[in-house]
Amino acid sequence: MRRSDLGEFEEIVLLAVAALAPAAYSVSIAEELENETGQPVSTGAVHAALQRLEQKGYLSSYLGEATQERGGRRKRLFTVTAYGGKILHEARTVRNSLWNRITPAELSKMGLDFSNS
Amino acid sequence: MQPLPPRWLDKLATRICAPHLREELLGDLHERYALRHRRTGARKANFFFLREVAALVRPSIMKRKPSPYGSPSAFSRDMLRNYFKIGSRVLLKNSSYSLIHLTGLSIGLWACMMVATVVIDSLSYDRQWSRKDDIYRIVSVNKMGGDLVERHTSSPANLAPELQKIYAEVESWSSVDSYDIHFKIRPEDADGIETSMLTVDTMANKVLGIKLLAGSLERTTQSRWSLLVTRSYAAKIFPGQDPVGKIIHDIPTFSSKPTPYEITGLIEDLPYNSHLRADVIRLKRTEVGPLVSNGMIFFGRNYLLLKSGTDVAAFTRKVNAWYARFMKNDKNQFEFQPLKDIYLHSDFAEGQSVRASIRTIYTFAGVALLLLFIACVNFVNLSTAKAFARVKEAGVRKVLSGSRTQLVMQLLTETLLLFSISVGIAVFVYFFTLQPVENFLGHRLVLTFTSNTMMAGAALLMFFLTALLTGLYPAWVISGFKPADTLRGIFTASLGQTGLRKTLVVAQFSISIIVLLATIVVWQQFDLMKNKKLGYDKNNLIGIEQIAWNGKGGAFKNELQRIPGVVRSSLSTWMPGESAGYMQREVDDPAHAGRRLRVWYVAGDVDLPAILRLKLVKGRSFSDRFADALNSDSLQNESFEKLEKAQMNQNSLMTASAAKMLRIKQLDVQTKNAHSVPVGIVGDFHNESLYEPLKPTFILAQKAPEYASMLIRIQPGTEMQVGTGVRKLWKQFFPEKLLRIHNIEEKLNKQYEAESKLHQLFLFFSGLTMFLSALGIFGLVVQAAEQRAKEVGIRKVLGASVAGIVGLISKDFVKLVMVAIVIASPLAWYALQKWLESYPYRTTIHWWVFVVTGVAALAVTVGTVSFQAIRAATADPVRSLRNE
């Protein structure tokens, strides 16, 4: 497992691509992340993360159609590759297993008692 | 309508973003901007866009994709070789330009190196002693009333030991005296070997850290002087022998018999670049007596060794407060001069023979920097002017996919080539001119660029940087044009950039004119000091320096009278230019109650006033008929008080200024202020050099004084004859003693050596700066004539005269020089006025000096310009017009 390859921001971007498929590109991802987190997210940061993920082979891309808002420029659309999917799955497995091992008593100590909600 | 982000931000984003990412990324930015605009309005959207653009600054976005058709790197080996090949061909092809460049640069670099050597050498003085930071010379500061203070390098002999007793800061002290002595090693050395000698007490070893090679640093004999000789001096006097234990004799000036010196130690050479430069060290006993506040106080040159890290300012205050309490007045104070400052900051130290003035060093450095500036200006000017010819080449190179970096590199290589050849020439000339420069300075240069690798390295680095700086601007200009324009022959206004070039020419000529003005004024000042009437006749006067006559002075004088050519002679305790007098007194000022005046006393036998040809204003001069002369030597031997008393009744002459200051109206009566009986008033005369103001002086007569020099008035043109006669007589009278004989006029002129050297220096530099400026303007004229060849051709075809065309081409340059004259004159006037302020007798700066300088500058310009302009004007117009 090469978990260290996947940064936190990269993981979120990768997830967002999967969630927004097939219309995942910088703008839609950045807007989505802004909505989810409430923090402003710059296009440049998202683009850089997408570039890295593509280089690592988790994503593939192709040029889509141009729109008027874009000044007649085409957009680059991203999809998660099978390898990317595997990595996402692995990440999720690790997290789930760790979550599951936390005892309810510990959860309530942390103020995260789910049984009552 | 589609909302658009601010244009400049958009442009900036395009700049930042790599070309291959622009389509998707800029599209994204615009789309998001439109979204924001709809949601939050224009202002917030703009602000957000700014943040977006800022977020683009990251390597993954900015990094350009390498072009698949790229030209080779500007720094690849092939390209580097190519630069050199093309560069050397260009230089050879334009050989006349290269020659102008080379001459200018070589001169500039040479001057710069030379002066840097002198400056570095001056700054290196006294940095070699092991405790250099902790040694201080005690300087006495005497308050003379008002703001006037007098500084002396001597201090009370017992002060230093007293300070060591009181203050813990004082680690050690030593008295150090230096003078020249003549040693007679072999019987055949008639005049002996001139040796510079330090006289130190045994504490000096601790202070100076002398390295002993053989023998001992202590005094081993009580009957003789102990002498430490340096290694190189020992090799000179006893080549190949062990000098320790040998006894050598000096040639005496005062005692009647030679003094023996025993060499007790061999030491490492003392640093040459030190104000304590010496061949031998004489050891004297360390004598400590009690410090007294009145009566006889002996003075000497004393050095203190303070503990490392002592706050000298605080220490000085402490010592002065203590000394004021001790003396019960604060007239005499002290300063502690750091060892490292002694060489350059000792204008007040009269007895110090090894010293330089920081002012001279500044002048020297300033002029050399200006010279280098002129040389570099020439380079920039000519290169940008030459750009006209080079832009076409640059255009072709660009069309053939040459990058700007390559072009800049190409032009820089040419500059570097020129500079390195110039450096080669400059170093060559430098190496062979070191000797003359050392002669000019009068001392050796220890650190030079050819002897010190560190300095050589630093110099090369400096030259490299200068070359880069001077080369960069023309290279940038030439490589900056659009090839489409240059190849079609359209030149944008920037090629003219005559503004910069004009400014540089004006600056260049202003500097030349200032240096030329300085040359004239320095010469005038020198001339004034050399030729000013001194109040006595300095011509045809010979002086024998002070010795002890052993009672044979009178007899020698009588014998002297027989030598043909000798008019008259006089034994005198005063020699022109040596001191203001053998004694000075402070007397009450009759004009201002409570103020004190200073008068000086000069003494000799009764012939002294006649020998000097002083002008008698009133009363009578000394004569054998009256009892004018006092036998002061025998009186002094009896008691000091007796002499004082006798002097009160002694007849004296006084100068007019002394009579006026002391308000002495009546002659032949004892005057309290004069401490004598004035019998006559003579015209004022300058006791010392003209650096000093006129001094009110009394002349006393003594009967054949024992410690005296001799002045001999001779008939014109008999100097050689009298000289040999005196030498012969000397051999009879004083076979053991050293004869030091001078022409008084030469001796007086030597006082103004500083001005003479400054004048020579300015003369040399003014020639160089003028030459370089003319060279620069010559290059520019050649360029202008080439550029305007067609214009000149058309004008000639239309009937213009040669004179008209010469005027047309010359006009621009003459105008520039006029501006330079207007700028330079007041600047020079101000600076020179400031310089002259330090002289009590100064020349006035006449208006004609400026006229002469201006006319000279214009003449040089017109000469240089018209040479080329006439050639252009007389050229056949068919040739220039048929071209193309």
Half-sphere exposure of B579 (CA within 13 A, CB side): 16
Would you say residue B325 has pLDDT above 70? yes
Give the pLDDT score at B295.
67
Q: Are residues B308 and B168 both part of a single domain? A: yes
Q: Could you report the predicted ipTM of this complex, rounded to two decimals?
A: 0.88
Has residue B352 been placed in a domain? Answer: no
- What's the gap in Å between the CA of A49 and the closest CA on chain B? 10
> Cα(A17)–Cα(A26) distance, rounded to whole angstroms?
9
Would you say residue A1 has pLDDT above 50? no
> Cα(B822)–Cα(B774) distance, rounded to whole angstroms?
18
Per-residue pLDDT reduced to its tens digit, B592-630? 777 778 888 888 888 888 888 888 888 888 887 777 777
Has residue B829 been placed in a domain? Answer: yes
Residue B619 backbone class (left: φ over 0; alpha: ψ -120 to 50; beta: rest): left
Q: Which of A34, A41, A42 to mutate to test the interface with B (most CBs of B within 10 A)?
A: A42
Q: Are residues B294 and B209 both part of a single domain? A: yes
- Burial of residue B665 (CB within 10 Å: 0-12, 13-18, 19+) is exposed
Give the domain-ending residue among B687, B715, B743: B715
Q: Are residues B516 and B615 both part of a single domain? A: no
Q: How confident is the model at residue B493 (pLDDT cuts 50, 70, 90)?
A: very low
Would you say residue B632 has pLDDT above 80? no
Give the domain extent around B492: 358-529+753-882
Has residue B401 been placed in a domain? Answer: yes
CB contact under 8 A, B25 and A43: yes
Per-residue pLDDT reduced to its tens digit, A7-26? 889 999 999 999 988 889 99
Q: Are residues B574 and B504 both part of a single domain? A: no
Per-residue pLDDT reduced to its tens digit, A56-82? 889 999 988 888 888 888 889 999 999
- What's the gap in Å between the CA of B68 and the closest CA on chain A? 21
Q: Are residues B488 and B613 both part of a single domain? A: no
Chain B contact residues (CB < 8 Å to A):
2, 21, 23-32, 34-35, 48, 51-52, 55-56, 58, 60-61
Q: Are residues B141 and B262 both part of a single domain? A: yes
- What's the gap in Å between the CA of A26 and the closest CA on chain B? 7
> What number is the average pLDDT over the span B163-182?
85
DSSP assignment, residue B145?
A: S
Give the pLDDT score at B283.
85
Q: Are residues B291 and B162 both part of a single domain? A: yes
CB contact under 8 A, B32 and A31: yes
Would you say residue B884 has pLDDT above 60? no
Q: How confident is the model at residue B576 (pLDDT cuts 50, 70, 90)?
A: confident
CB contact under 8 A, B25 and A70: no
Give the pLDDT score at B176.
86
Q: Measured between CB atoms, which of A40, A51, A75 is closest to B27?
A: A75
Per-residue pLDDT reduced to its tens digit, B433-469? 999 988 888 888 888 888 888 888 988 898 888 888 8
Amino acid at B821: I
B121-B123-B125 Cα angle (round to 5): 80
Give the pLDDT score at A79.
92
CB contact under 8 A, A43 and B2: no
Half-sphere exposure of B203 (CA within 13 A, CB side): 16
Length of chain B equals: 884
Q: Are residues B486 and B459 both part of a single domain? A: yes
Closest chain A residue to B24, measured at CA: A75
Contact B613, B598 (CB under 8 A): no
The residues facing B330 across adjacent strands are none
Q: How confident is the model at residue B21 (pLDDT cuts 50, 70, 90)?
A: confident
Collapsing DSSP states into helix, strand and coil, what is residue B295?
Answer: coil
Has residue B124 been placed in a domain? Answer: no
Per-residue pLDDT reduced to its tens digit, B360-370? 888 878 887 88
Lowest average pLDDT, out of B44-53, B303-312, B581-590, B862-871, goes to B581-590
Number of CB atoms found within 10 A of residue A78's CB: 30
Has residue B635 been placed in a domain? Answer: yes
Q: How far is CA B235 from CA B78, B238, B260, B330, B609, in A?
A: 58, 5, 20, 51, 49
Give the pLDDT score at B348.
78
> Cα(B816)–Cα(B808) distance, rounded to whole angstroms?
14
Give the pLDDT score at B827.
93
Q: Are residues B784 and B870 both part of a single domain? A: yes
Has residue B744 been placed in a domain? Answer: no
Count of domains observed in chain B: 4
Q: Write out the E strands in B154-294.
A: 154-156, 170-184, 193-201, 212-215, 225-230, 247-250, 260-267, 280-284
Q: Are residues B685 and B761 both part of a single domain? A: no
Has residue B628 been placed in a domain? Answer: yes
> Cα(B884)–Cα(B876) distance, rounded to whole angstroms?
16
Q: Are residues B554 and B522 both part of a single domain? A: no
Mean pLDDT of chain B: 84
The CATH number of A3-109, from 1.10.10.10, 2.60.40.10, 3.40.228.10, 3.20.130.10, is: 1.10.10.10
Per-residue pLDDT reduced to its tens digit, B787-831? 788 888 888 889 888 888 888 888 888 898 999 999 999 999 999
Q: How confident is the model at residue B429 (pLDDT cuts 50, 70, 90)?
A: very high
> What number is the average pLDDT over the span B307-324?
88
Closest chain B residue to A44, measured at CA: B56
Half-sphere exposure of B154 (CA within 13 A, CB side): 10
Q: Measured between CB atoms, which of B27, B55, B56 is closest to A73?
A: B27
Q: Are residues B563 and B687 both part of a single domain? A: yes
Collapsing DSSP states into helix, strand and coil, what is residue B427?
Answer: helix
